[in-house]
Each structure stands twice: as C-alpha cells, then as structure tokens.
Amino acid sequence: MEANLTMVYDQIIARNPGEAEFHQAVREVFDTLGPVMARNPQYTEAAVLERICEPERQIIFRVPWQDDQGRVQINRGFRVEFNSALGPYKGGLRFHRSVYLGIIKFLGFEQIFKNSLTGLPIGGGKGGSDFDPHGRSDGEIMRFCQSFMTELARHIGPNTDVPAGDIGVGGREIGYMFGQYRRITNRYDAGVLTGKGLTWGGSLVRTEATGYGLVMFTQRMLQTRGLDFAGRRIAISGSGNVAIYATEKAQEFGGEVITCSDSAGYVVDEAGIDLDLLKQVKEIERGRVSDYAMRRGSSAKFVPGGSVWDVPAEVALPCATQNEVREDDAVTLLKNGVKAVAEGANMPCTPGAIAAFSKAGILYAPGKASNAGGVATSGLEMQQNASRDSWSFEYTEDKLADIMANIHDTCSETAAEYGHAGDYVMGANIAGFIKVADAVIAQGLI
C-alpha cells in the first residue's frame, strides 16, 4: 500500500476499533488504489477515501420478540447506509449469530463498489441481526421479522434504502418483512424490498441470479484462457441460495459439480450433485447436507468438520461465507490443479489465499465482481416495480447475462489499462471506485 493510502488506512483502523472484517475489506481495496490516487489528485484534495469509508448513517436497534415458550428474546438489529452517491442504499439483510457491526460494515463497504460495477443506479448499504434462525419455528421467524421491520420501516423506502436477502434471509423472511412494512405504512411500496414473491412484485430470475451470474462470469473468465465448464470437476461450498443456483447453472454448462457443504461439514458426491434432492432437502425441508448424503446412496459421502477444499477440482466456487478459504486451503486447491476460483460469497478468500492464487497465476474473481448478479437483478426488480411491470424469465436472464459480461469486461479492461492485465481484483476495485469517487466529488461536500 502506498504511503498516502497507509496514512488514511491507519486513521480508519483507529476510528473503527475491533472491526476485523471491515478492516480486511478496506485494506483489500486500498491495496489496489495507489495508481488511481496518483492519477487523480482531486480525490486526495476532496478526501474521497475518508468520506467513502465513513458510512453516511449507521442504525443500531433493539429487536424484542417472544419465542414459542413465551420467553422474551432480545436481538440487535443493524442497517448501515454506507453510500448513496449513485442511488438509494441497496444491499441485503443477514441473520446469523456472528453478526455485529464489523460484519455489516464490511458487507456494506463491498456493496458500494459491487453496485457501482453493475452499472445500475444503486448506492451501497447492508443490514441484519445477530438472530440465529437455525432450529426456529415458522412462527418464531415471523415474529422476529415483524419486530425487526417495526423499527427498520422508518428508515427505508423505494427511493431511500432498499434491503433484500443475504445469509439467513430468503423469500420467507422477505415476505414477513414486506407484510409488516405494508401494515405499518399503509402503502404498497413494492420497491421497498427486493427478493419478493412472484405474485406480489418479485422478479423472475432474482432467486437464481447470484448463482447464475457467478457461473456466467466464471465462464467468460475461463474463456480468456480457452477453457470452459464442460466436463470439468467443480467444487462448490455452501448449500444455500447462492450455492444451489451456482450448481444449477454450472451443471447446465456441462460442469460436474461434486460438492456442497454447511457449517457442520461437506458432501462429496462422485456421481455429481443431485440438484432435485438438494433443493428438496434444503429449500423445502430446511434440512442439512448430511441429510442429502444419507438419502443419496453410495455415491455421496458426508465428511463432518473438514474442509471442502480438500476435494480435487478444476474450478472452485466458494458460496458460503467470509474467510472460508484460508491460505492452507488455497495451497491444497493449487496442489490439486485448480485453474479458477470465483467468489459467490462475500470475501470468502483470506488475504493469504488470494496471494497464493495470484502467485500461482490462476484465474481469480473477487466477489464484488463475480457475485454482483444478485444485486443487479434486485436492480431489475426495482425497475419492474417502478414501472408496475413484470418481465419474462428469458428477457430478465438475458439482461443478467449482459450485465455479468459487462462487469467481466470492465474489470478486465480496467486492469489492463492500469498495467495489470488479468488481475480482476485490481480491475474490480478501480472501476468500482472511480465511478463512486467522481459522483461524490460532483455532488459537493455533503
């Protein structure tokens, strides 16, 4: 990192103590911005870095609710409205026991540049709660979502801040939150949340979009080296929304997806993941990947604990959570001949893992580029809501494919322009940053 950037970085660490994931996300961006700051002295004069790293607004609130035994439970809710230079704050809500301000800020920070890369008019934000949905009944989930929205409602709106799903928040939770928002405000503001059901303002392809977009991006990246998915072994982590639809599209492209995982362990299925069974277990029964392995028969093995990255594969798509690919996992993947790693999750690779991929010269795509298909399709959902329209699956998927191709090409051209051809981290950070920085300056000191 250049000296002037180090100075700003040190201030940010001091101002935001104890937020390790936020520090990691900022560092990863700052490590690539040296040449941009050198070419654009106006960014330094206007303190653009300091401004972008300070959220416009951070909301923290109490979420009281009653469990099925009648006991009072208290969780903490967050919404970090990070940057609205390009449009209303946009980004998901995460319900996971690990959530604290540092996680929400890392996600919100990443979201600013990701949303900029989509080319759509959306700013960056993120929210969530330390609520753990595992093992909770449907009634408990509904009461929690209603209480969470009772406070959040006053801060969001179709032209202000538009949340969506992330870990632990899918169609069911969006439904309960939308209902409560509608009740509180007495407005049918379809555009206040994305990821809605198809009969009440949702967009076709939004459910599939992050996983599909990831595979579309990866295919285009593979093609730069004359490779593709067909006939290759693909390792995917996670078994939620992103992992399931990455599996679906990778299989459609002829890839052999042989793994899935959750926080209890991983499954390796040498016959290829049976997607109908995985959807049944995860989406309908809300079960575990160990249940998949039990029902699948002899081709599948469940490995409790352990790292899914021990399974030899040519393409690895981490789709679970942050820092799930450590340096030793990267070394194992490389030893086993991995040719491309593309992030479906946000920040799944540690800095050590990224350095190992980069040293080995394999293809590596950072999440803010490769997983942008989800939020991009959320942007398409907002467009449909604003025009009270709904588009066909094919039309929407074509738009998603165009957006992913554009993001890929923008990253690759920007990296080349700055003398780092093939470096998607550099390309994504610089291209995402410049657009936001220019808008921040144009709109004055606010």
* Positions in the binding site for ligand NDP (CB under 6 A): 165-168, 170, 210, 238-243, 262-264, 319-321, 344-346, 371, 374
Token reading at 235: 């390792």
Shortest Cβ 337–ligand 2IT spacing (Å): 30
Listed ranges 19-27, 130-138, 313-321, 370-378: which one lies at the site for ligand 2IT (CB under 6 A) = 370-378
**194 touches, from ligand NDP, ligand 2IT, none (C-beta below 5 to 8 Å by class):** ligand 2IT
Tell me whether strands 259-262 and 363-365 are parallel, antiparallel or unpaired.
unpaired
Nearer to ligand 2IT among residue 8 and residue 107 (C-beta): 107
> How far lies 289's CA from each of 62, 266, 294, 309, 431, in Å?
33, 7, 9, 16, 38
Nearer to ligand 2IT among residue 92 and residue 202 (C-beta): 92
**129 touches, from ligand 2IT, ligand NDP, none (C-beta below 5 to 8 Å by class):** none
**320 touches, from ligand 2IT, ligand NDP, none (C-beta below 5 to 8 Å by class):** ligand NDP
Shortest Cβ 323–ligand NDP spacing (Å): 9
Shortest Cβ 263–ligand NDP spacing (Å): 3
Residue nearest to ligand NDP (CB): 240
Residue 375 is a binding residue for ligand 2IT (CB under 6 A): yes
Residue nearest to ligand 2IT (CB): 92
**238 touches, from ligand 2IT, ligand NDP, none (C-beta below 5 to 8 Å by class):** ligand NDP
**91 touches, from ligand 2IT, ligand NDP, none (C-beta below 5 to 8 Å by class):** ligand 2IT
**90 touches, from ligand NDP, ligand 2IT, none (C-beta below 5 to 8 Å by class):** ligand 2IT
Are 189 and 222 in contact by the 8 Å Cβ rule? The answer is no
Alpha carbon distance 21, 50 (integer Å): 18
Residue 5 is a binding residue for ligand 2IT (CB under 6 A): no
User: What length is written for the chain?
Assistant: 446
Nearer to ligand NDP among residue 5 and residue 281 (C-beta): 281
Shortest Cβ 152–ligand NDP spacing (Å): 18
Alpha carbon distance 286, 134 (integer Å): 9
174-233: which residues touch ligand 2IT (CB under 6 A)?
194
Number of residues engaging ligand 2IT in binding (CB under 6 A) = 11
Indicate which residue of 90, 114, 126, 435 is catalytic.
126
Shortest Cβ 97–ligand 2IT spacing (Å): 18
Shortest Cβ 375–ligand 2IT spacing (Å): 4
Residue 21 is a binding residue for ligand 2IT (CB under 6 A): no
Residue 164 is a binding residue for ligand 2IT (CB under 6 A): yes
347: left (phi over 0), alpha (psi -120 to 50) or beta: left
Are 395 and 411 in contact by the 8 Å Cβ rule? The answer is no
Alpha carbon distance 193, 199 (integer Å): 14
105 catalytic? Reply is no
Q: Which amino acid is at 422?
A: G
Shortest Cβ 189–ligand 2IT spacing (Å): 16
Nearest to 174 by CA among 209, 154, 200, 155: 200
> How far lies 148's CA from each of 21, 48, 80, in Å?
24, 33, 15
Measured in degrees and rounded to the nearest 5, phi and psi for residue 230 equal -55, 125
Shortest Cβ 19–ligand NDP spacing (Å): 17
Listed ranges 11-19, 87-95, 291-299, 355-363: which one lies at the site for ligand 2IT (CB under 6 A) = 87-95
**Residue indicated by tokens 């202000």:** 160
Burial annotation 361-378 (CB, 10 A radius, 16+ → b, else e): ebbbbbbbbbbbbbbbbb
Are 105 and 55 in contact by the 8 Å Cβ rule? The answer is yes
Nearer to ligand 2IT among residue 63 and residue 117 (C-beta): 117
Nearer to ligand NDP among residue 305 and residue 419 (C-beta): 305
Residue 84 is a binding residue for ligand 2IT (CB under 6 A): no
Residues that bind ligand 2IT (CB under 6 A): 90-92, 114, 164, 166, 194, 346, 374-375, 378
Active site residues: 126
